[in-house]
Amino acid sequence: MSRGHQRSVRTSFLATLFRRAFRQGAAAAMAASLLALAGCSSVGPTDNPLARKLTWFSYLNGDDLRTRCGKDGADRYRLIFNADYNRHVRTYDIIGDPERGGAVVEAHVIEATDLARLTLADPFSAARGNTATLQLSAAQFDSFVGRLREDGAFDPPPQGLRLPSNGFYWLINGCRAGQWFFTAYPYPSSRFTDARFPELLRSIDPTGIAFPGLPPADEAPRTLPPSGQLADGGVFFEVQVGRDGLVGPTAPFGALLLSALPGY
């Protein structure tokens, strides 16, 4: 997939979001939020589904972590498990305490929208997902970082790797000792199956929500669905892994957001 095609896919991702939102009569309620997010640059994890969708590529790329790297002495790690974007995504943002040791874990699990959780007071409630936090001791944090090191998280990533949103993979990025890192673990691959950090995350996961099962290796999606199936619903996109992050711009949609708002 060319970079131009990637931009088209990402633009389509947002266009789909806008069409759905405005068809549901949410334009007025969402206008302020869209303006606030006009730069589409991630500021970290969020349970706001609109903010999450509009900044998703920037979040995957760790743009917010990259800008802070080395400035306050704190190590930051972001682990994202994509198990078909339209069905199950879970994220872990881990911030180390440079003075006392240990770290805080903020975990989010976003599953297929559960209409049973929809409330009139919060129209986004069905898509907010589940959030939980956990405090790691210094020993636990050291064990976690050691596991990532053993699994090659700080080594150069597999460049040119294309990851479809309907597929299964881990993306990991962050700042360690003032140095930025970024890597990926696609399924199926030995890199994915040999990694031991998911086992550690399962043991400390504070959400109480089980990881989804993996499809057989020969049935796991490796590319986006055919164009005819894309029209059936859901949001589809593809990202490509480069030397130190995702290929292409990850927060270029400010003008598109403004043009989508009535009266702008």
Percent helix, strand and coil across the chain, each to the nearest 5: 35, 20, 40
Whether residue 95 is contained in a domain is answered as yes
Whether residue 228 is contained in a domain is answered as no
Range of the domain at 204: 47-214+239-249
Ranking 18-27, 49-58, 226-235, 238-247 by mean pLDDT, the lowest is 18-27
pTM of this structure = 0.77
Taking residues 23-42, what's their average pLDDT? Answer: 45
Q: Give the count of domains, the chain.
A: 1
Whether residue 18 is contained in a domain is answered as no
Residue 2 has pLDDT above 70, yes or no: no
Residue 65 has pLDDT above 50, yes or no: yes
Whether residue 136 is contained in a domain is answered as yes
Whether residue 61 is contained in a domain is answered as yes
Rounded to the nearest 5°, which phi and psi values hold at 152? 80, 20
Whether residue 104 is contained in a domain is answered as yes
Q: How far apart are CA 171 and CA 41, in angstroms?
A: 18
Quick check: 144 and 32 in contact, CB under 8 A?
no
Whether residue 259 is contained in a domain is answered as no
Whether residue 33 is contained in a domain is answered as no
Q: How far apart are CA 227 and CA 105, in angstroms?
A: 39
Length of the chain: 264
